A and B are shown apart, each in its own frame.
Chain A
Amino acid sequence: MTTPAAEVQSPARSAAPRLTLGALLAAALLLLPFTVSSFWIRIATEVLLWAGLAQSWNIIGGYTGYLSFGHGAFFGLGAYVTGIGMTVLGWPFAAGLVVSGVLAAALAAAIGYPTLRLRGAYFAIATWAFGEMLRQVATVLEVTGGAFGMRLPAFLNLPFFYYVTLGTSALVYLTTYLLLERSPFGYKLLAIREHEEAAEMVGVNTVAVKVNAFALSAFFPGVLGGIYAYWLTYIHPDSVLGGIITDLMVVMVFLGGMGTFWGPLLGAFLVQLVSRSLWLVWGESTLYLVIIGAAICVVVLFMPGGIVGLLEGRRAPLLAPRAAWRWWRERVRW
Chain B
Amino acid sequence: MELFLQTLIDGALIGGLIIVVGVGFSLCFGVMHIVDFAVGEWVMLGAYTAYWLVRYLGQDPMIYLPLIFALFFAAGWLIYPLIYRAVSGRRHHPALMGLVFTFGLSTLAKGGALSAWGYHVRSVSTWLSGQSVSLGVTTLPALRLAGFVFGVLTTVLFMIFLYGTRLGVSIRATAQDRETAALLGVDVRRVGALVYATYAGLTGMTGVLIGALFSIHAAMGAKYVIFAFFVVVLAGMGYVPGVIVAGLLLGLIQSFVGVYISGRYTLFALFLLMYVSLLVAPRGILRRGL
Q: Tell whether A and B belong to one assembly.
A: yes
**Contact status A285-B115, CB under 8 Å:** yes
**Contact status B275-A130, CB under 8 Å:** yes
B77 at interface by CB-CB < 8 Å = yes
**Contact status A296-B104, CB under 8 Å:** yes
**Contact status A122-B282, CB under 8 Å:** yes
Q: Which residues of A contact B (CB under 8 A)?
A: 65, 67, 114-115, 117-118, 120-122, 124-126, 128-130, 132-133, 136-137, 139-140, 243, 247, 250, 254, 285-297, 299-301, 304, 328, 331-333
Q: Specify which chain B residues have a CB less than 8 angstroms from the CB of A247 in the assembled complex.
A: 103, 107
**Contact status A293-B108, CB under 8 Å:** yes
Supplied contacts A65-B93, A67-B99, A296-B107, 4 more A-B pairs, CB within 8 Å: A122-B237, A129-B271, A293-B108, A301-B82
Provide a sorted-by-A list of 8 A–B residue pairs whose CB atoms are within 8 angstroms.
A67-B99, A120-B96, A125-B233, A133-B275, A250-B103, A293-B107, A296-B101, A297-B101
**Contact status A292-B107, CB under 8 Å:** yes
Q: Specify which chain A residues have a CB less than 8 angstroms from the CB of B100 in the assembled complex.
A: 67, 250, 254, 296, 300
Q: Specify which chain A residues have a CB less than 8 angstroms from the CB of B174 in the assembled complex.
A: none
Interface size on B, residues (CB 8 A): 51
B243 at interface by CB-CB < 8 Å = no
Q: Specify which chain B residues have a CB less than 8 angstroms from the CB of A67 in the assembled complex.
A: 96, 99-100
**Contact status B97-A304, CB under 8 Å:** yes
CA distance A304 to B87 in the complex (A): 11
Known: A124-B35, A125-B233. A331 touches B84 (CB 8 A): yes
**Contact status A328-B82, CB under 8 Å:** yes
Interface residues of B in 261-288 (CB under 8 A from A): 264-265, 267-268, 271-272, 274-275, 278-279, 282
**Contact status A287-B115, CB under 8 Å:** yes
Partner of A132, one of B190, B233, B267: B267
**Contact status A301-B279, CB under 8 Å:** no
CB distance from B64 to the nearest CB of A (A): 24
Known: A132-B267, A254-B100, A296-B100. A301 touches B272 (CB 8 A): no
**Contact status A114-B190, CB under 8 Å:** no
CA distance A122 to B237 in the complex (A): 9
**Contact status A332-B77, CB under 8 Å:** yes
Q: Specify which chain B residues have a CB less than 8 angstroms from the CB of A118 in the assembled complex.
A: 278-279, 282
Known: A67-B96, A136-B271. A126 touches B115 (CB 8 A): no
**Contact status A296-B115, CB under 8 Å:** no
Known: A65-B93, A250-B100. A289 touches B265 (CB 8 A): no
Known: A67-B96, A132-B271. A286 touches B114 (CB 8 A): yes
Known: A120-B93, A287-B115. A136 touches B104 (CB 8 A): no
**Contact status A293-B104, CB under 8 Å:** yes
Q: Which residue of A lies closest to B266 (CB)?
A: A136
**Contact status B109-A124, CB under 8 Å:** no
CB distance from A209 to the nearest CB of B (A): 18
Q: Specify which chain B residues have a CB less than 8 angstroms from the CB of A333 in the assembled complex.
A: 189-190, 193
CA distance A243 to B221 in the complex (A): 13
**Contact status A301-B115, CB under 8 Å:** no
**Contact status A297-B108, CB under 8 Å:** yes
Q: Specify which chain B residues have a CB less than 8 angstroms from the CB of A301 in the assembled complex.
A: 82, 85-86, 101
Q: Mark B57-93, 1 if CB is under 8 A from A, else 0.
A: 0000000000000000000011011101110000111
**Contact status B267-A289, CB under 8 Å:** no
CB distance from B227 to the nearest CB of A (A): 12
B148 at interface by CB-CB < 8 Å = no
**Contact status A133-B104, CB under 8 Å:** no
CB distance from B272 to the nearest CB of A (A): 6
The 9 closest A-B CB pairs, nearest first, are: A289-B111, A293-B108, A296-B104, A293-B107, A136-B268, A331-B81, A286-B114, A133-B271, A290-B111
**Contact status B101-A126, CB under 8 Å:** no
Partner of B112, one of A122, A125, A128, A290: A290
CA distance A292 to B274 in the complex (A): 28
**Contact status A290-B278, CB under 8 Å:** no
Q: Specify which chain A residues have a CB less than 8 angstroms from the CB of B82 in the assembled complex.
A: 297, 301, 328
CB distance from A90 to the nearest CB of B (A): 30
CB distance from B234 to the nearest CB of A (A): 11
Q: Which residue of B lies closest to A254 (CB)?
A: B100
B146 at interface by CB-CB < 8 Å = no
Q: Specify which chain B residues have a CB less than 8 angstroms from the CB of A122 in the assembled complex.
A: 237, 278, 282
Q: Which residue of B lies closest to A131 (CB)?
A: B271
Q: Specify which chain A residues have a CB less than 8 angstroms from the CB of B109 in the assembled complex.
A: 293
B229 at interface by CB-CB < 8 Å = yes
CA distance A71 to B67 in the complex (A): 41
Q: Specify which chain A residues have a CB less than 8 angstroms from the CB of B265 in the assembled complex.
A: 136, 140
CA distance A270 to B104 in the complex (A): 17
**Contact status A129-B111, CB under 8 Å:** no
Q: Which residue of A lies closest to B275 (CB)?
A: A129
